[in-house]
Amino acid sequence: MRYIKGLTKDTLKLLKRIYKQSKYYQVRQRAHCIQLSYQGYKIAELCQIFKVSRNTIYNWFNSWELSKFTGLYNQSGRGRKKIFNISQEQEIKNWVKATPKNLGKVQEKIEKEWEIKVSKKNSKKSNKISLHGLVQN
């Protein structure tokens, strides 16, 4: 069995504070998990408490052991990368302002100008970029 060991009183105090006050749900969850592991909870019990897999618990432990408190936070670079650069986004917003009721024209301009396929609606299953999400930003 793997447990978190060797936490000082100050570390436990800070973990408790993070668990109670962090504005990020995942950070609160990870801080609580580290505390419970230190108290002797088994990984199977932690999986049930937090409703995550064993791998997730191990990842949380690894992050804690490598980075301590910074390991509780999500690292940058997660999620889908932007397709358009800032100037392209601004140009698209200008095109939408010019023809707000005809996103088809904007869609055609994007495909013609940059050879990027886009959809008018927000489609999660599609690999296309959504004009809808871009316009709302």
* Helix ranges restricted to H, the chain: 9-21, 25-38, 43-50, 54-67, 86-98, 103-114, 131-136
Q: Are 7 and 15 in contact (CB under 8 A)?
A: yes
Lowest average pLDDT, out of 22-31, 93-102, 118-127, goes to 118-127
Count CB neighbours of 37 within 10 A: 23
Torsion of CA 120, 123, 125, 130, to 10 degrees: 60
Tens digits of residue pLDDT in 43-68: 999 999 999 999 999 999 999 999 99
Does residue 29 contact residue 37 with C-beta atoms inside 8 Å? no
Does position 92 have pLDDT exceeding 90, yes or no?
Answer: no
Q: What is the pLDDT of residue 122?
A: 39
pLDDT in tens, 79-89: 777 788 888 88
Q: pLDDT band for position 5 (50/70/90)?
A: very high
99 confidence band (pLDDT: 50, 70, 90): confident
Lowest mean pLDDT among 32-36, 51-55, 79-83, 109-113: 79-83
DSSP states along 91-128? HHHHHHHHSTT-HHHHHHHHHHHH---EESS--SSSSS
Q: Which residues 6+ apart lie within 8 Å of 122 measured at CB? A: 130, 132, 133
- pTM of model > 0.85: no
What pLDDT shows up at residue 124? 36
